[in-house]
Each structure stands twice: as structure tokens, then as C-alpha cells.
Amino acid sequence: MSDFLITNALILPMTEARQSFSGYVRVDNGVIADIGAGAPLKTEEDDFVIDAAGCVLMPGLVNAHTHLYQVLLRAVWEDLELMPWLKRIYGCARVLRPEHFYAGSLLGCAEAIRSGVTTLCEHNFLNPSPNCAFETIRAIQDSGLRAVFARTIMDAGEIVPECTKEKPEQAFRRIEEILARHERNDQLQFMTGPNTPPINTTPGLLREIRRFADDKSIGISAHVAESKSVVESVRRQHGKNGVVEFLHEFGIPGPNSIFAHSVHVSKDEIVLLKQTGSSVSHNPVSNMMLGDGVAPVVEMLRQGVNVALGTDGAASNHSQDLFDTIKAASLLQKVHHQDAGVIDPCSVLRMATAGGAKALGLESVCGTIEVGKRADLILVDLDTIHNQPMNDVFSQIVHCAKASDVRTVMINGEIVMQDRHLTGLDEKKILADAKIANRDLMKRVNALSF
Ligand SMILES: [Zn+2]
């Protein structure tokens, strides 16, 4: 007997380019136990069968970079470029409370699951109190999502409020406390990192961070070269040509490092990313919203850099919908290069699945449909007006499908959404609590001067 037998699905395993076939997947003890074309040879009477006729069965999506609580700040500061926008985001640390982090993060998780996300990387950077991190982790755990919690550090910067600036030793102690309080396993992993070097981190912190990460066997997450202004800062303050080049001096790039954005990186820095085995989280919707520029994704892929996709926080994306981001990632490269064939839908879907899993050190756990991997699976209903008729399933998942087509979501062999219903979460309560948290937060934010 298996936990689940999913039959009649159009399966996209995402292991090889353009592979798709009609078949079944058997899930046993949370693990993918069998995959086959056609109908299964044998069905036990007590198998729990999910008939996936009309649906694509694919790996759960990986959102490689977000700030969940920011759903409370959707559409608050829309017309600002990165630096003045960041000043306001950081300024919120003066009024953000742990309860805002819990309510916002849980709403963000619910939205993520409803868009087919099964794994996300929460890049945490505002910690006026240690409970802000604890409450974010609690929300993620309550949601059932697989996650990497990246507890990053800021120790400098004019626009960073004192309440969230930390000396490296103090931050490391707090991260040690997070590690001590939580079991590290496939479901929950941890990272650290400089938040946005060099604008809010000193060379002293950067020197210490690689040592600390290696000592604790955790990865590194950082915002890298998001806008031209960050690159100008690294030139002015440190005489370096780019942020990646600067970080290389401190050993920050590496196989367990994920660099969000990487919009303004040179050809030499792309080579450096490849040589060091670093991954990039491409966040096209956020980059477009803030007017940052276009990341050289095609060049990075050509050089063999592992690229993942991220929504970024809802304060610069408005949503946690990874399907939006998938479509934007495809279209943005086409218009940027003025070449409709510059990127193919398979490469984009790979970034949202296997690329994301690799970036988060979870390539042996999830990101593809393979025997032995954890059962992080989604069923996307393509038998709908905007998805039919079907000519090219890869292109249509990227360019036609919407988050609302995700019917069922399984994480670790547990169904967390069935026929659009979140099985383990009270959606009405999550929404009501988030509205209360939003009203309270905005009252406090509106009393601030930036
Ligand atoms: Zn970010």
C-alpha cells in the first residue's frame, strides 16, 4: 500500500529538457516511490488514488527569495527607487512587532501554497527583537512549507535604524539561539548572510560571516548588486568594480551562497559566480517594480551559473505568486534582448524548480520528480479555457497557466491544498488576522518620519 497513487497525469519531471509523458506517480512515506508511463501495473485496494486527468503533475515550485511579512506592505511605497524605498522598509523596524511578522508571514505562506510553491527561502533582515525571527519561523512551520530561513545581518548604514543594527558577535549569538531552538532537517534549514553589502555591512562583518557560516554548516543569502546605486557605493567606498568582486575578497561567494537579484554584474563577475559555484535568485517582478534594471540571466545561464527564481517581498512585488514571476522571467529577457528566442520555457521552468532546489542546497530533496526524492508535487489544472487547446505544455505552463490553476499541493507527501482548499490552515482567520496586523502596522508606520 502506498500513501498516494496519482494517476492519469501529464508528468513534467523537470529532470531532462522537454520531457513529458502521461503516467502515474506513487508516493510512499512522503517519498516518491515509483514513476511510470501509462497506467500503473497494480493498484492495491487501499491505495489512496488521486485521478489527475486534465492536470499537469510537476515538482512543487521553489521561491528562492522572499520576505514574507511584507504582504502587509503591499502597494505602500510604489513610486520609489531602491534607496529611498529601502529607507522606508528599514525604517519599519522601529515599529514592527513579532505579531506583525507572524500574521504577515502566515498570509504570505498561504498565498505561496496557493500559487504552487512548496519550498521557499525567507530572507530575514529586520530584527528589532529576537522574537521577530522566531515568529516568522513559527508561521512557516504552521503552514507546512519546506523552507530555508536566512537570518541575515546589518551592522552599518545611514538608513538602517539603530534598533536593527547589530554587532557581529551579537547577531551570531542570536543566530546560534535560533539554531539551538530548531531541529535542522529537510523541512527547515538555515542560512545567514550580509543583508545588502556594502550599504549596510562593514568589511569586518563580511570577514566574520564566512567563518561563522562554515562553522555552523549553513549557507549564505545576500542581496547583491540590485541597483546601480549599490554598485556606485562599492566603487566609492571600497574601490571595487562590482559587488560580487568585492564579496569575493571575503570568501562570500561559494556553492552554498545564493545572491538575490545580481542585476548589475559584469561579465567577469558572472565568471566568478560560475567558478565559485554560487547561485543567483532572479526576481524579475521586483526588479521591474523598483526600476532596478534587467539581470543578465541569459548570460548567466550560458556560463553555467545556477539561476533560481524569487518573488522577493510583496512590498516590491505586490504578490507571492510565483507563476507571475515565471512569466515575467521569460518575457523580460525576450524584450531586453529584442530576441523572442533568447530563452526557452523549459529553462525558465527549471529555474522555478530544480534551479531553486539547487540554490537552496536541497537538490537531493526536491525540485524534480525522481524516485527517492521527497514528494513535493503540484497538480495544475490545464483543462480550462485560458489553457486550452494544448500545443506546447512547457510554453503553456510558463505563459498561459495562472496560480489559480494549481489544484492540489503536496509537501513531503502531505496534502496541504486539495482542490484549492488549504487543508491545514484556517484561511478566514489568516485573512482576518492579517488585516488587523496591517491596520496596526500602518498606524505605526504613518506616525514615522522618513
Ligand atoms: Zn529581497
How many helices, marked H, and strands, marked E, lie in the chain? 16, 17
Q: Which of 44-58, 170-184, 226-240, 344-358 has the lowest mean pLDDT?
A: 44-58
pLDDT tens by residue, 317-350: 999 999 999 999 999 999 999 999 999 999 999 9
- In angstroms, rounded to a whole number, what is the distance separating the alpha carbons of residues 397 and 27? 24
Average confidence (pLDDT) over 345-373:
98
Check if the beta carbon of residue 239 is closer than 8 Å to that of residue 216: no
**Sorting pLDDT into bands at 50, 70 and 90, what band is 47?**
confident
Q: Ligand 1 centre and the CA of 343: distance in Å?
A: 24
Q: Which three cell numbers stand for residue 408?
A: 492540489
pLDDT for position 253? 98
- Range 11-18 average pLDDT: 93
3-state SS, residue 373: coil
Coil, strand or helix at 146: strand
Query: pLDDT, tens digit, for every residue of 255-279?
Result: 999 999 999 999 999 999 999 999 9
The residues, any chain, with a CB within 8 Å of residue 417's CB and separated by 6 or more, are: 113, 114, 406, 407, 408, 409, 423
pLDDT at 375: 98
* Ion ligand 1: residue ranges with CB closer than 5 A: 312
User: What is the spatial distance between Cα 2 and Cα 30, in angstroms, rounded to a whole number?
Assistant: 10
> Would you state the pLDDT for residue 152?
98
User: Higher-confidence residue: 2 or 194?
Assistant: 194
Per-residue pLDDT of 402-415, as tens digits, reads 999 999 999 999 99
Q: What are the E-state strand segments in 279-381?
A: 279-282, 306-309, 377-381
Reference 36, options 22, 19, 53; nearest CA is 22
Residues in the chain: 450
What was the pLDDT predicted at 351? Answer: 98
396 CA distance to ligand 1 middle (Å): 28
CA 19 to ligand 1 centroid distance, Å: 33
Q: How far is the CA of 151 from the centre of ligand 1 (A)?
A: 12
Residue 450 confidence (pLDDT): 85
Ligand 1 center–CA 223 separation, angstroms: 6
Please give the distance, rounded to the nearest whole angstrom, from the Cα atom of residue 310 to the centre of ligand 1.
9
| Mean pLDDT computed over 207-215 | 97
pLDDT band per the 50, 70, 90 thresholds, residue 417: very high
130: Cβ contacts below 8 Å, ≥ 6 apart: 174, 177, 178
- CA of 338 from ligand 1 middle (Å) equals 27
**Average model confidence (pLDDT) across the chain:** 97
Q: State pLDDT tens for residues 236-256.
A: 999 999 999 999 999 999 999
Residue 44 pLDDT exceeds 80: no
Q: pLDDT band for 1, please (50, 70, 90 cuts).
A: low
Q: What pLDDT score does 43 carry?
A: 72
The C-alpha cell that represents 335 in the structure block = 524584450
pLDDT of residue 141 exceeding 60, the answer is yes
DSSP 234-267: HHHHH--S-HHHHHHTTT--STTEEEEE--S--H
For residue 109, which of 445, 427, 446 has the smallest C-alpha distance?
427
Q: Give the pLDDT score at 16.
A: 83
Write out the three cell numbers for 138: 513559527
Side-chain half-sphere CA neighbours of 287 within 13 A? 29
Calculate Rg over the CA atoms of the chain.
Answer: 21
Mean pLDDT on 75-90: 94
180: how many CB neighbours lie within 10 A of its CB?
7
